[in-house]
Amino acid sequence: MAKRLLRIFGPLILAAILVFAVLAMPVTLGFSHVSAARERKAAVSLSPNVLRGKHMKEEALKDGYVPFFGSSEWSRIDPMHPSVLAQKYRRSYRPFLLGARGSQSLTQYFVMQNIQSELRNKKAVFVISPQWFVKDGTRKDAFGFYYSQLQTAEWLTHFRHDAIDQYAAKRLLQMPVAKSDHFIYAALQRVAKGEKLTDFQRFYLQTRKNMLTQEDQFFSGIDLPSQNLNRVNQQAKQLPTHYSYSALDALGGRLGKAATSDNRFHISDKFYHQGLQKELKTGKLKNFQKDLSYTKSPEFADFQLCLDQFARLNTNVLFIIPPINGKWQKYTGLSATMLKQFDRKIHYQLQSQGFNNIVDLSNKGNVPYFMTDTIHLGWRGWLAVDQRVNPFLSKHQKQPHYTISDKFYSTKWQNLSPTDLTQYEAETK
């Protein structure tokens, strides 16, 4: 019987041991090299697997790619898109696009966890979408979609006991996806309470991190979508051989005009016909945003996580605040006053802590062909971004000096009306 049992279970046990051994190994095998071609693909793929992983990002950032944090705007690839311009005019940097539809500050904070050494003392670009700052902040399902156990495990193996970690842990515990691993969930509960992790938890997290790191090495490069890289290459063909701002501005105007021919909002026809036209016909969209506010939101504290992280790593960041399509804003009744107030609040949070590289485009919503659709930058908008991104990344910059304040994690700050800013500033000095 023993012989027969060995014949049945031998291969099974052997396979299990081998798989576990390979995955739990703390050292990485020689599969770590990522070719330049794959880096190019990954940098513009916007694939959730790349965002959730580590290896691809890490390797590319080591090779001179610069992290561009943001969300859905990255998928609007036209000739003036940062990735296209950087490629066409052989800039000294290449953007590594991080973020896609629905990724907000909290996701980006965890994305930063396993590229820390690539961020330390380096530069980065960060697009702040006003739309993130709605009443409930990041959507739980969107956060769940981009959630990465690897990043969480990595964070839990290097966290310190202070405001940033406690806030991050509490926030994560509010997300249903945190329950996807029960041991991690238990560890988070301790961090949120300011307690130390148990020995078992530390051991588990270390093993889990090793396994997930190996998995990421093996699998993250498989099936990288290449359609965005193809689009970048296509768009680059439309650009003139030599860079000239006026020529590009004129081209942007021409392309924008041709692409937004059949609607009064100057929204690209393709986007317009993907359901927007149908919805407009119902009339429900008229003034539908009139009560919307971007001034009170947990997102302000989530965003502070990112700022805090940048400060700790001494990363020099260029922030971009995009506008909203002016015609669209008027039609949907989105309050201009509220947008100005949002701008004030976010400026205060940035500047009072020493983040002074801000490209504020919020008043450009009415420049023709600045936006490609309702809220996303296009042609001239991308060009305006390039006007600031290129010198920021190509030239030597002065070292930033950050002074972080934990008050931005407070609920008081999250829900502070921007009209009370002056008073708040005086009170919290």
144, 338 contact by CB (below 8 A): no
Decide whether 5 or 426 has the Cβ nearer to another protein. Answer: 5
Of 5-13, 87-95, 99-107, 250-258, the segment contacting another protein by CB under 8 A is: 5-13
Is 281 an interacting residue with respect to another protein (CB under 8 A)?
A: no
Shortest spacing between CB 113 and another protein, in angstroms: 24
Contact call for residue 4 and another protein (CB under 8 A): yes
9 binds another protein (CB under 8 A): yes
CB of 84 to another protein, least distance (A): 23
Closer CB to another protein, residue 146 or residue 409? 146
Taking the least distance from each CB to another protein, the nearer of 11 and 64 is 11
CA–CA distance, 366 with 329 (Å, rounded to integer)? 10
Nearer to another protein, 112 or 172 (CB): 172
Q: Single out the segment in contact with another protein by CB under 8 A; choices: 4-12, 350-358, 388-396, 419-427.
A: 4-12
Q: Which of 33, 90, 160, 182 binds another protein (CB under 8 A)?
A: 182
Rule CB under 8 A: say whether 2 interacts with another protein: no
Q: Which is nearer to another protein, 77 or 346 (CB)?
A: 77
Q: Is 21 in the site for another protein (CB under 8 A)?
A: no
CA angle, residues 135, 156, 46, in degrees to nearest 5: 60
Residue 6 beta carbon to another protein: minimum distance, rounded to whole angstroms: 11
Question: What minimum distance in Å lies between the beta carbon of 5 and another protein?
Answer: 7
Q: 52 or 88: whose CB is closer to another protein?
A: 52
Q: Find the part of the chain contacting another protein (CB under 8 A) among 2-10, 129-137, 253-261, 316-324.
A: 2-10
Binders of another protein among residues 220 to 249 (CB under 8 A) are 223
Nearer to another protein, 56 or 339 (CB): 56
Q: How far is CA 59 from the centre of its chain?
A: 18
Report if residue 1 touches another protein, rule: CB under 8 A.
yes
Rounded to the nearest angstrom, the gap between the alpha carbon of residue 217 and the centroid of all alpha carbons in its chain is: 22
Among 54, 19, 218, residue whose Cα is nearest residue 150? 54
- Using CB under 8 A as the binding rule, the residues of this chain from 206 to 225 that contact another protein are 223
Measured distance CA(159)–CA(196) in Å, rounded? 11
Q: What region does 285 belong to: left with phi over 0, alpha with psi -120 to 50, or beta?
A: alpha
Cβ-based nearer residue to another protein, 26 or 176:
176
**Quick one: which segment of 3-11, 111-119, 359-367, 407-415 binds another protein (CB under 8 A)?**
3-11
In this complex, which beta carbon is closest to another protein, that of residue 234 or of residue 428?
234
Residues making contact with another protein (CB under 8 A): 1, 4-5, 7-9, 12, 182, 223
